[in-house]
A and B are shown apart, each in its own frame.
Chain A
Amino acid sequence: MLRIAILDDERHALELFESVTESFEDVSLCGLFDDADDLLAYLEVNSLDIIFLDIEMPGKSGMQLAEELSGICPEISIVFVTAYSEYAVEAFELSVFDYILKPVSAERLRKTLNRIGKGKQTIAFTPKRLTIQCFQRFECKIAEKVFPLNHLMKAKELLAFLVSRKGAETSWEQITEALWPDMNCEKAHNNLYITTYRLRKWLSENNLSQIFESSRNSYRIVPSEFSCDLFDLENAMKEGDKRRISVLYQGEFLEEDGYEWAYPIQAEWARKLNLLAGQE
């Protein structure tokens, strides 16, 4: 719930704002102020997430107040609500979060609240638990629901390849050589760009952006951000937990996906499991 308040010297502007916010279930309208001193007194004992300020008011202007508030309550997002467009440049300089032209519409206010909500979410956001399966076939499950990614074939393969690297930095060259081995460098890089775009978009749409990291000329996935049978199986191998190995090993590594780069990994797993079986 976002705690908000508005300061405006015009009574009807306050009334309109109140009626617009009534339909929003995720906000709590904590105050309608027509005097800056009353707002400042309120803030001495109460906290707010957002303050909506008119700019042209008798006495202290919205600009002056925004400057003052950014010093005393830097955590509060300030939004200007005004009939004038010419203060927008100064508003940016004052780090004002948003600038809404009067009359305030529910649609425009929603946009502001969503932007602020997103910003706050990134701090307290708990990622959805993603589970990736690599043995038998590559599969992504979000909250137990399978996302086949069949419409994103290469993005799926890129994700699988990065998972197989187990969090290691992987250069563009390593990726293009694996995913487009017969393609010339320029075309392969172009494909990598499109594929990365699609993968990042899919991750972003599913609030999973945190599993993918990029730095200059390389990408990696972040193993701590998701569960994966590949990592579980490796742990089970280290611990010699044969029961768990038999549960996790449901088929060969990416068996049904037919990725050429995966064949050596399949062979390596087959060798390890044969060795383990031979020890029995």
Chain B
Amino acid sequence: MIDTDYMIADCDKKRCHSLQKKINLYRRAKCVGSFGRELELLEKTWLELPEVVLVYAGDLKLNAYSVLKRIKEVTPEIKVVFYSEQKDYALDAYEKGADYFLPLPADDITIGKLIFRYMGNKI
């Protein structure tokens, strides 16, 4: 079984760890970094090349649209998933070309759907 590597971009450490904890319950998902600064995240993204980057949308300190744009222009193969309590960002995710939107609070079902879609079919 091969792990699916993912990264998290979120300035709020508590929220980030909470999401990470839920995703890591699935054995196939492996967090290879969490970052609160755009440059740091992009640097690691291009070097580590995770399959998925989860980006919190709705925090002025870390612009989700900018992160999405910069990841996609160099590494379009990386899936970018927005997550937020504000469902309006789901429409923005479509507008800007994100691959998925995870509504918060994320329960087992929503996390399960994400895992199934991007982390569940690697054997």
Contact = CB atoms under 8 A, between A and B. Distances in A.
A89 B47 contact: no
Interface in A184-222: 190, 193, 196-197, 200-201, 204, 214-217
A88 B48 contact: no
B88 A92 contact: no
Interface stretch (B10-18, B52-60, B92-100): B92-100
Nearest to A201: B74
Interface stretch (A35-43, A93-101, A224-232): A93-101
Contact of B101 (A92, A95, A190, A201): A92
B53 to A, nearest CB: 15
A88 B76 CA distance: 22
Contact of A193 (B46, B73, B87, B90): B46
B97 A115 contact: yes
B43 interface: yes
A86 interface: yes
A98 B99 CA distance: 10
A200 B45 CA distance: 13
Interface in B79-119: 87-88, 90-91, 93-94, 97, 100-101, 103, 113, 117
Nearest to B94: A99
A51 B87 CA distance: 25
Contacts of B66: none
Contacts of A172: 47
Interface in B42-78: 42-43, 46-49, 73-76
Interface size class for chain A?
Answer: 20 to 34
Contact of A98 (B90, B94, B117): B94
Contacts of B48: 216
Given A92-B101, A115-B97, A197-B74, A85 B88 contact: yes
B74 A88 contact: no
A91 interface: yes
Nearest to B39: A193
Nearest to B117: A95
Given A85-B88, A89-B87, A214 B49 contact: yes
A88 B43 contact: no
A58 B94 CA distance: 25
Given A89-B101, A204-B73, A99 B113 contact: no
B46 A88 contact: no
Given A86-B87, A91-B90, 13 more contacts: A85-B91, A88-B93, A92-B94, A93-B113, A115-B97, A172-B47, A193-B47, A196-B46, A197-B46, A200-B46, A201-B74, A204-B73, A216-B49
Interface of B: 42-43, 46-49, 73-76, 87-88, 90-91, 93-94, 97, 100-101, 103, 113, 117
6 contacts: A86-B87, A88-B87, A93-B113, A98-B94, A201-B74, A214-B49
